[in-house]
Homo-oligomer: A and B are copies of this chain.
Amino acid sequence: MHSGLLLLTAVSLLYIAKTHSSLFAATGFAIIGYVAIDWLIPRVGPSFIKIGLFGKDLSKPKKPVLPESIGAVCATIYLFVTLFYIPFIFYRYIVNPNEELDSSKNNEFGWFPHKKLSEYLSAIMCLESTVLLGIADDLFDLRWRHKFFLPAIAVIPLLVVYYVDFGVTYVLVPGFMKNWIGRTSIDLGIVYYMYMAAMGIFCPNSINILAGVNGLEVGQSLVLAILALLNDALYLTMGSESSKESHGFSALLIIPFFGVSLGLFKWNKWPAKVFVGDTYCYFAGMVFAVVGILGHFSKTMLLFFIPQILNFIYSCPQLFNIVPCPRHRLPKFNEKDGLLYPSRADLVEQPPKKFFIPVLKFLHFFKLIDLEYDSKGNLISCTNMTLITLTLVWFGPMREDKLCNRILLIQFIIGLVTIFLRHALGAALFGYDNLQISVFN
């Protein structure tokens, strides 16, 4: 399956490079990033263990000790790559400063695209702040209530740039609601900024929640990157001029991200040699939030997070203690057959809230949870409410790598369907799609 995904990415990259030759640099830096990560990880791993950054892999026969927080290396390399990148991205403006002055539509900004540079810098800065936060979390195990909202601070420079550069805060009203509301768009004003800050909080945390199986954190980020690049490729080949610009920007940031993440995946996939830590999850989530916000397609980007959103909603009964939540909800490893089994929450010691029992039975009826009864028909346990456990409930016990691949496959299929529906239904709902020549209608 992995090689298929890689092939698909390669095709997307070729598509992108064909239309935006400047993105060749991005691909080059992605390869450099991959090589650097692959070279560094085995060399820095022991130092991480030495300073206490390590964890036990509980789903392996001998519970080996692995270096933890290696995602910080990956994120740092990404940041260095994107710094080295700057002269290449703005190369044509530097070498040929009058190019833009000649083109009438751009010369309002003088000969250098400061607007673009601010955008780019605010994106990298937001990511750097996120990495700092992630490192603090990996080192000090911050409390949940502290760390949950901190990414919102990292998003501030981004929101400022959005405000001064675009200030677009209206959303289109779907066709069937137009008559009811009486207009074609609604200006959300400050609510739109709160929505963007919320996105900066949601994306990092949502990747952090869908975790616990070797390779899953990085794998889901790779799938997200592929989906975003596919979407970018669609726009870069068929989109309007302005959408080409923002999706070019998106590809600029995501291509090197794909490179460094692939390097990390090599070491984090089953059987993992390293753990990625919170730093990577925050960093990866923020890459997509940043790209979505600055590329003006935060709503489409959020569609790619449907599996993470579903995982979050599905987890809510346990997160809010309506159903008891064990400290770890990882799948249970069975040493005898080497397979992972769904882990369960004990409902005898700490019964669920009464009003929720019918909901549990309802979920059970639709195979969205597995319930266990004793001989008298009393509820004694339920499977933990995570997408990982649900996959095991649906497809039966399996080895860790199979489980990870299955979840990634589900995520990828949902994403493909989303891209299709986004453009097919988007056109139907809003009367037009921002792809100039829509392939779907």
A residues 110-128 near B (Cβ < 8 Å) are 110, 112, 114-115, 117-118, 121-122, 124-125, 128
Q: Are B132 and A128 interface neighbours, CB within 8 A?
A: yes
CB-based contact A79/B129 at 8 Å? yes
**Which chain B residues lie closer than 8 Å to A80 at the CB level?**
153
CB of A164 within 8 A of CB of B112, answer yes
**A76 contacts the other chain (Cβ, under 8 Å)?**
yes
Q: Which of B109, B118, B125, B160 contacts A128 (CB 8 A)?
A: B125
Residues on B with C-beta less than 8 A from A110 are 108-109, 115
**A75-126 interface (Cβ within 8 A of B):** 76, 79-80, 83-84, 86-87, 90, 93-94, 108-110, 112, 114-115, 117-118, 121-122, 124-125
Contact A157 B83 (CB under 8 A): yes
Contact B121 A157 (CB under 8 A): yes
Nearest neighbor of A47 in chain B, beta-carbon distance: B140
A86–B93 alpha-carbon span in the complex (Å): 26
A25: Cβ under 8 A from any B Cβ: no
Check if A309 is an interface residue, CB within 8 A of chain B.
no
Known contacts A109-B114, A110-B109, A76 near B132 by CB under 8 Å = yes
Give Cα A86 to B94, complex, Å: 27
Query: In the complex, how many residues of chain A place their beta carbon closer than 8 angstroms to a beta carbon of chain B?
Result: 43
Q: Is A135 an interface residue (CB 8 A)?
A: yes
Cβ–Cβ < 8 Å partners of A44 in chain B = 140
Are A157 and B86 neighbours in the complex by a CB distance under 8 Å?
A: yes
CA distance A110 to B111 in the complex (A): 12
Which residues of B are found within 8 Å of A157, using beta-carbon distances? 83, 86, 121, 124
Within the complex, the shortest CB–CB distance from A99 to chain B, in Å, comes to 13
Does A225 lie at the interface of the complex (its beta carbon under 8 Å from any beta carbon of B)? no
Asked whether A163 is an interface residue with its Cβ less than 8 Å from the other chain, the reply is yes
- A131 on interface, CB distance cutoff 8 Å: yes
Q: List 27 A-B contacts (CB under 8 A).
A: A44-B140, A51-B52, A51-B139, A52-B52, A76-B136, A79-B132, A80-B153, A83-B129, A83-B153, A83-B156, A84-B153, A90-B160, A90-B164, A93-B164, A94-B163, A109-B109, A109-B110, A109-B114, A112-B164, A112-B165, A117-B118, A117-B164, A121-B121, A121-B125, A124-B157, A128-B128, A139-B139
